[in-house]
Amino acid sequence: MKSHCHAAAQRGFSPACISPACKFAALTLACLAACAVAHAQSADIKATAAKPDNEIYQTLYLTNLTQQSDLNEIQSDLRNMLPNAHLYGMPSQNAISIRATPEDIQIAQKILADLDRGKKLYRLTYTINESDGGKHTGTQSFTLIVASGGKTTFKQGSRVPIVTGSYDSAASTSNTQVQYQDVGLAIEASADSNLDGLRLRSKVEQTKVADEKSGVGAQDPIVRQTVLDGTSTLATGKPLILGSLDVPGTTRKQEIQVVAELVK
């Protein structure tokens, strides 16, 4: 047998003369090589899919933004809908830079066409009716323009100085600080249009300096304050009474009413 194998070896390679262990080792190496090739091909396919070579760049402009939160919400929508696109928002330009495939850019343009729409404008008229002992004594009306999803603030009054700090009579310099407080009428309105009408959040605040002093210091005033803060739903063109109050210590009464009209 040995002479036969030796002769076969002299004539050329003979598989019959390879031991089982050698055959197993050769088969294992062949399998490992095939797996390595398949893994490399799969990695190349994934890399190609992750980085398409047909991406383009475009700037998408928005025309109806009213605040920074609008741009943030649109960016979040685009990122969720187009996870492979690269987005960057520019608030100063009301624009979004996008680098993506032509198909994704077409989808982004359609999304912006649906979301970037003009917001409704409302004219809000707040009326404060005053009465004393059941008799009408006066009316004040204030008109604001507010966009749906936005907020408008109105203030009317004075800024009253309030002295803080201390004063050393023995020294040549004083340590006196002055802070100013707004006194008068302040109205803050936030509106959101919905199917039921207009959802309105109103904050009406009235402050005034009382005649009496606080007793803490000669220059420390007492500031009286009345605040109405609430949310209501109203139909356009129909007045709604937000609330009424009795002024403590007097027979006076105040009633706050609002009416909304659609501007455009």
Give residue 13's pLDDT: 45
Report the C-alpha gap between 163 and 173 in whole angstroms.
16
pLDDT by residue (tens digit) across 221-236?
777 888 889 999 999 8
pLDDT by residue (tens digit) across 166-217?
556 565 555 667 778 788 889 999 998 887 789 999 999 888 887 766 555 5
- In the chain, the percentage of residues whose pLDDT exceeds 70 is 71
- Stretch (H or E) spanning 115: helix 102-115
Q: 110 pLDDT band (50/70/90 cuts)?
A: very high
Give residue 3's pLDDT: 46
**In the predicted model, what is the mean pLDDT of residues 28-49?**
58
> Domain 56-115, what architecture?
2-Layer Sandwich (3.30)
Is residue 159 within 8 Å of 180, Cβ to Cβ?
yes
Confidence (pTM): 0.61
Give residue 82's pLDDT: 95
* 110, β-bridge pairs: none
Q: 250 pLDDT band (50/70/90 cuts)?
A: confident
- In the chain, the percentage of residues whose pLDDT exceeds 90 is 38
Whether the pLDDT of residue 2 is over 50: the answer is: no
If one counts every other C-beta atom within 10 angstroms of the C-beta of residue 136, the result is 9
Q: Which residue has the higher pLDDT, 157 or 181?
A: 157
Average pLDDT, the chain: 79
**In the predicted model, what is the mean pLDDT of residues 48-76?**
81
- The ranges of the chain annotated as CATH 3.30.1370.120 are 56-115
Q: Which residue has the higher pLDDT, 238 or 10?
A: 238
Q: 29 pLDDT band (50/70/90 cuts)?
A: low
- Stretch (H or E) spanning 163: strand 151-166
Whether the pLDDT of residue 153 is over 70: the answer is: yes
Q: Which residue has the higher pLDDT, 37 or 74?
A: 74
**In the predicted model, what is the mean pLDDT of residues 236-257?**
86
Give residue 7's pLDDT: 45
Q: 38-74 b/e with 16+ CB inside 10 Å = b?
A: eeeeeeeeeeeeeeeeebeeeebebeebeeeebbeeb
Give residue 102's pLDDT: 94
**In the predicted model, what is the mean pLDDT of residues 79-107?**
93
